[in-house]
Structure 1
């Protein structure tokens, strides 16, 4: 259980990692603590802004918008690598996500697929919004990538965390695609090396999983409201179909093992009819209602 860093400790940690830090307006007292708890903290979450321009992006993340009040993160990482601090405390950046992912972050182990949105991420994660359109074409300058690495490493170092405490929004909440343009495993590798003493500046991002996924890119979320978009819904539906397919395969395998077991039992006892036993068991199994976790509504942002 980690207590959130104070404003002074956060600034000191970021600057000690070699970052240029700008304290924007009254960021030290700017938060959403009146809406819920802040802490214990367990990790760092990386986003892209879906905007361009430093000043306008920083102001947006400080103020928020009509459907989502600010601050929208703790820090904004500009194209030139500058970190603008816009919030201190609970911020509106993570939303609800998967509790299995949160537990994996706490345990510092490989992340499971995010398929639920039932846990308050704003309480448990520091958030950094990185200025990028998120369209897969807007470039990620090396200096900005280095700043993302440094900012995440700074917080991990301050708390004694490993690189496994750093995740992307797309790994937390179903339907999200950010950050798009580099892979989080690649970024975690850089953070791991930095924490171990290797401070080599990245020269080019590794492709993200999102770069090739979608025939539905024209519907990708543009940050204009709370309602789920078609892309998010289709992506989540695809995950649900994959999950159902896996469950069907598992049931098929169980059925095959059941048939083999009954046949062996019948052979051992000598006077049983395997086909009749299997039929009775199948009827019993089919009478049981199988409840599957398929959402009734599209996911929310």
Structure 2
């Protein structure tokens, strides 16, 4: 579970994974947030577009159509591997699916068959639409597949998720067949392998927000050390020693000082990092 990445953090995470990103005009404010919740997020859903051509596919996914307003996903992955960002927030992509699948995604365990459609997936999942006719004959070029793997890994890395957090639309609901033409088990294996590698050149200057829930799992990570050093530099230290890689109450107390310095009060200054205060802290990229 995690707070959705900000637009800047999403771009940074994708680029850090070596993905070529195109920011479609207006994507940062293109969402369906007025129609329902966006977050907490738990994973990534992979789709195929049933279209051909990059421009037409991007336009459709940005605008939607009369029966289903856009955005229809967060990013469109073209045949050449370029990721075109079209939405930032709630998007009409996952629809209703199985609550049991969501529970498995959260637990990062093997997925049950989707036999019910009782849960709103648009609340909880990022979505990538991948340009393909979906007929089982249209090929999946390696450049496109690798970009799909890297885009999925980027979100998993940013939120501290495993490859089990990446599912196909057909694994979410029994009413869909996408993505067609490859096995999701093999795709997850590639995502898992990617997560074992370090990020490639193009790593952002600042660490993307790993999500509030990541900190509540008591992580041990160089991200925590980098954060602590920034808190010290900002005059917000509550450390008697360190900071070090293990998240402790001293980290939380120091972060609470930072939140108060930014003007937050009450429960908004409880020491648990949030996306906006994290962005303001400008933690150097470390992992």
TM-score of the superposition, structure 1-length normalised?
Answer: 0.65
Aligned length: 199
Query: Which residue pairs with 1:190 in the alignment?
Result: 190
Query: Which residue pairs with 1:141 in the alignment?
Result: 141
Query: Which residue pairs with 1:52 in the alignment?
Result: 52
SS of the aligned residue for 2:123 comes to coil
Structure 2 CA distance, aligned partners of 1:198 and 1:61?
31
Q: Max radius of gyration: which structure?
A: 1
Structure 2 CA distance, aligned partners of 1:26 and 1:12?
18
Aligned-CA RMSD value: 1.0
Consecutive unaligned residues in structure 2, runs of 5 or more:
200-287
Query: Which residue pairs with 2:27 in the alignment?
Result: 27
Structure 2 CA distance, aligned partners of 1:101 and 1:19?
28
Following TM superposition, by how much is the alpha carbon of 1:15 offset from its aligned partner in structure 2, in angstroms?
0.4
Once the two structures are superposed, residues 50-86 of structure 1 have per-residue CA deviations (whole angstroms, 9 ceiling, x without a partner) of 0000000000000000100000000000000000000
Structure 2 CA distance, aligned partners of 1:62 and 1:51?
14
Query: Which residue pairs with 1:13 in the alignment?
Result: 13
Structure 1 residues 198 and 180: alpha-carbon distance in aligned structure 2, compared to 1, 3 A threshold = farther
Structure 2 CA distance, aligned partners of 1:41 and 1:197?
24
TM-score of the superposition, structure 2-length normalised?
Answer: 0.69
SS of the aligned residue for 1:76 comes to strand
Following TM superposition, by how much is the alpha carbon of 1:197 offset from its aligned partner in structure 2, in angstroms?
1.6
Query: Which residue pairs with 1:246 in the alignment?
Result: none
Query: Which residue pairs with 1:77 in the alignment?
Result: 77
Structure 1 CA distance, aligned partners of 2:92 and 2:176?
15
Query: Which residue pairs with 2:110 in the alignment?
Result: 110
Higher relative contact order (CA 8 A, sep 6+): 2
Q: How does 1:86-235 map to 2 (within 5 A)?
A: 86-197=86-197
Query: Which residue pairs with 2:2 in the alignment?
Result: 2
Following TM superposition, by how much is the alpha carbon of 1:175 offset from its aligned partner in structure 2, in angstroms?
2.1
Structure 2 CA distance, aligned partners of 1:169 and 1:117?
12
Following TM superposition, by how much is the alpha carbon of 1:6 offset from its aligned partner in structure 2, in angstroms?
0.2
Consecutive unaligned residues in structure 1, runs of 5 or more:
200-301
Structure 1 residues 198 and 4: alpha-carbon distance in aligned structure 2, compared to 1, 3 A threshold = closer
Query: Which residue pairs with 1:208 in the alignment?
Result: none
Structure 2 CA distance, aligned partners of 1:175 and 1:186?
22
